[in-house]
Chains A and B, each alone.
Chain A
């Protein structure tokens, strides 16, 4: 889908419209949402299917290549979607000087959490846990 269809050519040439990202935010929120539908359903179904299984079996599944890839895709889509969603919530409710700090905290928090999750998944996939 050509995202520039949402702006007129002359508007784009003169530089009218949102001074910030504008359409980008709305579109990326939808794209991550579409990705999250199958990814979260897969994750929830997998957790249910592994109810009551032991640690070894669970880690065996989590560390398998397909699962690790899907898990990392889920983390990326999830925290991108979360960052965008929290951004609009913060922008709607905080109008003082604290707004910019809240926005930074939310975005940095999402990046950090996604990184921690990805590193944890990779460590499980490549078979080394802490201290062993």
Chain B
């Protein structure tokens, strides 16, 4: 018995190739992309907890992997993704209260999300380096 293919050969209306990217659409897909990326980071979080529970040797091995330069790049990306998803998510929660739907407000809140994500990432990394330098 043949399975009916879910892929049709009818032509589809071009959207991504035609529609100019705007702050609204870019931030929307960014929230999804950061969310999926953070899901992968959640795996690393659990591995980190398991390493911590397994004793100092396992933990220091884990820390040295994170401390390597690819690990640090990953951590920086994860930090930025986290703040972007957090700020974008809060923007969504505000919308869910039926506030902030004027176009000016949408663009204002959108730029706040972008700026806040960058600033929070920088602040957290600077704070971490300062505190690590003191111990």
- A and B from one complex: yes
Q: What is the interface of chain A, defined by CB distance below 8 A to chain B?
A: 30, 33-34, 36-37, 40-41, 44, 47-53, 55, 58-59, 62, 71, 75, 78-79, 82, 85-86, 89, 95-97, 113-114, 116-117, 119-121, 123-124, 129-132
> What residues of A have a CB within 8 angstroms of the CB of B133 in the complex?
52
CA distance A97 to B45 in the complex (A): 31
Chain A binder among B12-20, B82-90, B104-112: B82-90
Known: A52-B132, A55-B56. A120 touches B124 (CB 8 A): no
The 8 closest A-B pairs by CB, nearest first: A52-B132, A51-B132, A120-B53, A52-B135, A120-B49, A51-B128, A129-B55, A51-B131
List 18 interface pairs A-B (beta carbons < 8 Å), by A numbering. A36-B89, A37-B89, A48-B124, A52-B134, A53-B135, A55-B59, A62-B52, A85-B35, A86-B39, A89-B35, A95-B6, A113-B46, A117-B45, A120-B46, A120-B50, A120-B53, A124-B52, A129-B53
- Interface digits, B34-50 against A, CB 8 Å rule (1 contact, 0 not)? 01101100110110011
B2 contacts partner chain A, Cβ-Cβ < 8 Å: no
Asked if B6 and A96 make an inter-chain contact with CB atoms under 8 angstroms apart, the answer reads: yes
Shortest CB-to-CB span from A129 to chain B, Å, is: 4
CB of B55 within 8 A of CB of A131, answer yes
Distance between Cα atoms of A97 and B4 in the complex (Å)? 11
Q: Is the CB–CB distance between B42 and A124 below 8 Å?
A: no
- B→A interface (CB under 8 Å): 3, 6, 32, 35-36, 38-39, 42-43, 45-46, 49-50, 52-56, 58-60, 82, 86, 89-90, 92-93, 96, 124, 127-129, 131-135
Let me know if A124 and B53 touch, CB within 8 A: yes
User: A59-B52, A89-B36, A124-B52 provided; 19 other pairs, C-beta below 8 A?
Assistant: A33-B93, A40-B82, A48-B124, A51-B129, A51-B132, A52-B135, A55-B56, A62-B52, A85-B35, A113-B43, A113-B46, A116-B49, A116-B50, A119-B53, A120-B46, A124-B49, A124-B53, A129-B55, A132-B55
